[in-house]
Structure 1
């Protein structure tokens, strides 16, 4: 993860330079703002990856002598049959449609988003003292 963190930090430096050059030459607010926001996102991802890499064991991608097989195996747990992303997608689509059609549509989108988010966060929570 250390390599990816550095890559995102260098990408952030590049995007910042391009945002400044673009802003000075074009004097266009939307593109300049988008580039500065992309800079912020790159910095956040780079900082997160660097921060996480300092707290976990070094992976095979951080070792220059590693083989491809050194990184094989289980990556993590992914929910195989969750309906919550569908609810979040429908709620998000309705929310963005509300921007185009009318803000009243957010009254229908917000509960769907909240139900999907609540369901996804607590999908595998069974209580603190619950027995199997």
Structure 2
């Protein structure tokens, strides 16, 4: 994680220089603001990764002599049969169409998003997947 933190901090420095150059040359506030926000986002991510790298053990990516297989192992648990992302995608699509066609579509999309989110969070607390 140490390398990724440094990469984001160097990217933030590059974006800062480009934001200043763009702001001086173009005198256009929207693009300049977007570049300064991208700078802030890169600093936050880089700081988080650098801060976290100090608190955890060094990974294989921090060792120059490491092989790809050194970082192999369990990544995490991912639900293999969940229908909840479909509900969230449907609700999200309706919500974004509400921006285009009319805000009244949010009345239909908000319940779908909330039901999908509730179902996803509590998926393993009820039904056949309930942990005993």
- Shorter chain as normaliser: what TM range? 0.7 to 0.9
Aligned Cα root-mean-square deviation (Å): 2.0
- Report the Cα distance in structure 2 between the residues aligned to 1:39 and 1:45, rounded to whole angstroms: 10
Shift in alpha-carbon separation, 1:81–1:45, aligned structure 2, 3 A: farther
- TM-score, with length taken from structure 1: 0.83
Q: For residue 104 of structure 1, what is the aligned residue in structure 2?
A: 104
- Report the Cα distance in structure 2 between the residues aligned to 1:95 and 1:60, rounded to whole angstroms: 42
- TM-score, with length taken from structure 2: 0.83
Cα deviation, 1:28-84, whole Å, max 9, x if unaligned, reads: 233223222222322222222223222222110011121222112222222222222
Q: How many residues were matched structurally?
A: 129
Contact between 2:6 and 2:46, CA under 8 Å: does it hold in 1? yes
Could you list the runs of 5+ residues in structure 1 that have no partner in the other structure? none
Moved more, 108-117 or 3-12: 108-117
- Report the Cα distance in structure 2 between the residues aligned to 1:42 and 1:100, rounded to whole angstroms: 30
Contact between 2:16 and 2:36, CA under 8 Å: does it hold in 1? yes
- Report the Cα distance in structure 2 between the residues aligned to 1:90 and 1:52, rounded to whole angstroms: 35
Could you list the runs of 5+ residues in structure 2 that have no partner in the other structure? none
Runs of 4+ residues over 4 Å off in structure 1: none
